[in-house]
Structures are given as C-alpha cells and as structure tokens.
Chains A and B, each alone.
Chain A
Amino acid sequence: MRFTMLPQVFSQLFKKPWTNKFPAKYIPSNTTEFLKEVKKGNAEINPPIETPPGFRGKIKYDKDKCIGCKLCIKVCPSGAIEFKPEEKKIKIYLARCTFCSQCNDICPVKCLSMSDEFLLADGNKYSKALIVE
C-alpha cells in the first residue's frame, strides 16, 4: 500500500466523532444565553467526561479544623493563600491557585482537600465562587 492513510480516512467517514460534545450537542448561537436557559431549566447541559479518582479540582476548606499554622502559605507556589490574622484562618484565591495540592500534603490537621469540581471560569477573579474561606 503506497498511501497507507487512505483506508483509515475512508473508515473514519462512517464513524462517530470521537470528542465529547460539551456543553451542548450543537454549538449554541449564544453561549451566555444558552447557560441562562440551562439555569431556568429550559435546556440541558451535555455532561463532561467524568474526572478520574484523585483528580485535583477546587479546594475544599474545613474552617473549624484549621489551626492557623501558616504551613500552607509557606509551600504555596503561587501565593494564592492569604492569612487572616484576627481570626487565625486562611483565605484561598482560586484565580491564582495552580491546583498542585501541595497545601493538602503539608497540612498537619488535614483541613484542606481537593474536590472534583473543575468548571471554575468566571469573569471576575475576586467573585465569590473563586474565593475559598
């Protein structure tokens, strides 16, 4: 066979596309409007592929357990964690977070953990959804 790619290309014509159609099967004319419709319950989101176990998503913070030792601030590579001295608790800015989970590893009381939430896009980097405290 001199053109070894040809059979592959022809067989591909009869196969389904390999990609997962996210967030909708056909591209909506206006994505913002589409998401508003989803919120109202008129449209449905085509779900994303499930995350594997051990995925590093949005940080979860158990405030009551935290002892305010500041070790997480010491290892955070991007300086995403701020210390609140009056409460002796921390505040995490997800817009800066690199999702390395190093703070989870060093935490002596294990008050930090990674969830599998990854749809964190937001227009405002200081919005409520992007600050964990």
Chain B
Amino acid sequence: MSAKATTKTTYQIPIGPIHPALKEPVKFEFEIDGERIVDVDVTLGHVHRAIEWTGMHRNPIQILYLAERICGICSYCHPMAFSLAVERIAGIEVPERANYLRVIHAELERICSHVLWAGVAAHEIGFDSVLFLTWQIREEALDLTEYLTGNRVTKAITMIGGVRRDITSDMLPRIKKSLDYLKDNFAKLKKVYLEDKTFKMRSQGCGILTKENALKLCACGPTTRASGVKKDVRLDQPYFAFDDLDFDYVTPDVLTGEVNGDVYDRIIVRLLEVRQSIDLIEQCIDKMPEGEIVSEPKLAKLLATLKKAKGEGIGRMEAPRGEVFHYVKLNENEYPYSWKVRAPTYSNILPWIPMLKGEQIADIPIVAASTDPCMSCTNRVAIIKEGNKYELNKEQLHRLSVEKTRRLMR
C-alpha cells in the first residue's frame, strides 16, 4: 500500500484566556505550521476592574491609594503620575528636596521591577536556579524599600505636592549598605545573564523587533530601547529632578556595539538600567538639598484646595516598563470629573505580533515575557450588555472615542 501524498496545512492553537502558562488572562490565537508560528492574534479585555470609575467616587487623596493598586510592581509610578497631573491642575509647586526623594523612590522601583523581570525571564526559559539567585538579590532591594517607605510592595509614599517620608542623615549608612550589596551582585548577575551559554542559545536571534517596527507600533520603554530607539521620558521631557542628573539612554549598542532587537538585547537593556538606577540614586543622595518634603503638610487644607481646583492635566512618567500616562479632569468638586490611565503595556502589545511571527512554539513564553507585560493594568474597557460581551470594530470604537472626548470637553 503506497502512502498517500498529504497536503500540509497550518493548524491553530488557542492559548488563554486562562492557561497554566499565563500569569494573567490574555488570549492568543496562533496559526502554526509544524513548529513555526505563521500568524498570531491577541485578544485583551478579560480583567477589566473599573478602577477609573471607582476613582470618580473618591477624593484625590483616596485615589492615590487606589492608583497604587493598579499594578503591584509599578505601585509607585501610577500614584505619582496621578499626582503630577493633579499638581499641574491645582498649580501646586513641589519642593526641591521632594523632587530628589521622588527620583530615589522611582529608581528603586525600577531596580525591583527589572530584577524581578530578569528572574521571570530565567523562569520562562526553564532556568529556575537563576530565578532564585535573582530574586534573592531582589530581596535586598525590597528590604531597602521597606526601610524607606514602611512596606515592601504598596509603598504609600506619594502625596500630592511631595512625598510622605523623608530620608534623614542617619538612614544613609543603611541605604549605602544596600546599594553596595546590589552593586556587588550586579556584576554576578551580569555574568550569569550575558555570558551563560543557555541564555545566549535561547535569547539571541529570538523575538526580533526591528527599529522600523518599534517606531511604527509605538513600542515604549526598554522594549523600544532594545530595538535602538532612543526614547525615554526621563530624558525627553524631564520631570522630578531628572533634569539635574547625569545619565543617558540605554541601548544595547552601549555594551555590544550593535543593535539586534532580540530578547538578548532586552536583557542587556534592563540589566544596564539596573546599574544606571543605582547610579542615579547615589547622585540624588549626594545632590539632595535641605528643605521641605511636601508643599502643604496640612492635609485638610490640601483637600480644600483641590476641591476648588478646575481644569485638566496630564502626568507622564517613565515607569519600569515604559511610559505611563494619566489624564485627570477636576471640576470644582470633591471627586474628579474624569481620570484616564494608560499603562505602558498598552503600547507593547502590538509589537508582540512581529516578534512572535516565525518563532518556534517553545519560544512563545520568553518572547511574550520579554516585553514585561502586565495585562490587568492595560485593560481599560469592557462593553457588556445583558450579560453578553460585544466586540467592536474600528469605526464603532472610533465613534465611541469621539463621543467620550466630546463629553469630557463639555
């Protein structure tokens, strides 16, 4: 019996919304040819939490703690971006010392986030001993966070017009000890991540995002910098005290002399940014002037000022994952009229498609994790009518956006 000639067709693998390999709900539909990915579609919108709506029933000080809970890892940059927006509306001037303290906390969060990401990346390629080594080092950064803010994750350090806790001179030796520990271990981490054969084999030439695609799809943060795009809100539109500090864009060619835009380059960028953040914290501690840490220490008075404020403002910040954007409109009311959040992952979802096309099935986890996605921060809209979920096309979505903008402008 002779074998019949079979025609090879592609087949589809749906992954998600709930899947053991995914940390958060997101749905992928892969078109697979053998082991190779031909096409991929991403569906979002499974974890809408109505945070913005909840915020419209709270006063700005309460929103700070709500914003902190948008994301567990970016628990500093969300309330900070919100307070930047509110400060812009109410014309609150932040004291110089508070600006430096804000930089310290922002960079400490970046260290925690990038080191956490490095551990997750090691886990995704099945290298769990590196995950434990990395997270052991992260523990020191978390201990420092706890020492400076009073808690490991939800820092509660933000206040409109400044920060809530000062760094006094007797705290400096403890900070220095932690920074030295991080610096010593940074060399170890760099050696493991950038020289180990396992990492090189799994990450070099995998999940490539070209510079053209990065620009076209508006990728942000370390994902775009790894493709050679020099984009960083800290340098492009300096906020806090970043204007006075000495640092530069981190692109992979700083270390290797070439830009490939693959997963390996994203590891390089994040690791070098950890080093840069340690540097920035040290610079801040040296340059920090004396003075107030908050513009209005009497909170009842601050609430009264915000109740009288009117106008709209934006807050932009370079979160560990990219640019975070908050839009706030106050309307001489106790509660804000509107609050919109755009988390960095939102811009880093479309780059997944060129990254994943042409890759192997086994590379899906590391490529997807390489943009450091945070799905529940990204979900901003869910339309549910009579218990059913609806999908909207581009025109309908555009019409709804126009209606919403008109409503806000009123």
Contacts and interface: CB of A to CB of B under 8 A. Distances in A.
Contacts of A52: 143, 146-147, 150
A22 interface: no
B287 interface: no
B18 interface: no
A101 B192 contact: no
A8 B192 contact: yes
A77 B58 contact: yes
A56 B196 contact: no
A3 B61 contact: no
Interface stretch (A36-44, A68-76, A121-129): A68-76
Contacts of A74: 59, 303
Given A9-B129, A56-B156, A18 B299 contact: no
Nearest to A55: B150
Contact of B129 (A5, A98, A102, A114): A5
A4 B196 contact: yes
A54 interface: yes
Interface in B174-214: 188, 191-192, 195-198
B154 interface: yes
Contacts of B130: 5
Contact of B133 (A2, A8, A55, A101): A8
Contact of A101 (B143, B150, B197): B150
B303 A4 contact: no
Nearest to B300: A71
B195 A4 contact: yes
Interface residues of B, number: 32
A102 B158 CA distance: 11
B173 to A, nearest CB: 14
Nearest to B64: A77
A119 interface: no
A52 to B, nearest CB: 5
A1 interface: yes
Given A3-B198, A5-B127, A8-B133, A102 B61 contact: yes
A98 B133 CA distance: 31
Contact of A75 (B192, B195, B299): B299
A3 B197 contact: yes
A4 B192 contact: yes
Nearest to A75: B61
B195 A1 contact: yes
Nearest to A53: B147
A75 B62 contact: yes
Residue with the greatest number of chain A CB neighbours at <10 A, chosen from B129, B136, B299: B299
A82 interface: no
A105 interface: yes
A83 interface: no
Contact of B146 (A55, A75, A78): A55
Nearest to A56: B150
Contacts of A2: 195-197
B66 interface: yes
Contacts of A4: 191-192, 195-196
A106 interface: yes
B48 interface: no
B156 A100 contact: yes
A66 B150 CA distance: 25
B401 interface: no
Contacts of B64: 77
A99 B62 contact: no
The 4 closest A-B pairs by CB, nearest first: A77-B65, A100-B156, A77-B62, A2-B197
Interface of A: 1-5, 8-9, 12, 18, 52-56, 71, 74-78, 98-102, 105-106, 108, 114
